[in-house]
Amino acid sequence: MKDIIYFTKEDGQNIILLTAQSNAISMIGPTERDLKLYKKILGHKPLNVYALIDGKEFKFSEAWLTPDFQWN
């Protein structure tokens, strides 16, 4: 089980959006529900979203921040 911290970098600050746990690395991307929560926390759509996993920082591409993003 991996601990995942989702955060954004705005105004020179890291703002934590959500923490989670996952067994599958393919399941780390934000869901539509997550994006709605991020918007509620920030008051606007996030400009960038990062995940911190095992001390490594990953930035999600802008395509992942679109609720209708499809893998196939």
Q: Tell me how far apart the alpha carbons of residues 27 and 29 are, in angstroms, rounded to a whole number.
A: 6
Q: Does the pLDDT of residue 71 top 50, yes or no?
A: no
Q: What pLDDT does residue 72 have?
A: 42
Cβ-contact 49, 64 below 8 angstroms: yes
Q: What pLDDT does residue 65 have?
A: 66
How confident is the prediction for the chain on average, in pLDDT? Answer: 80
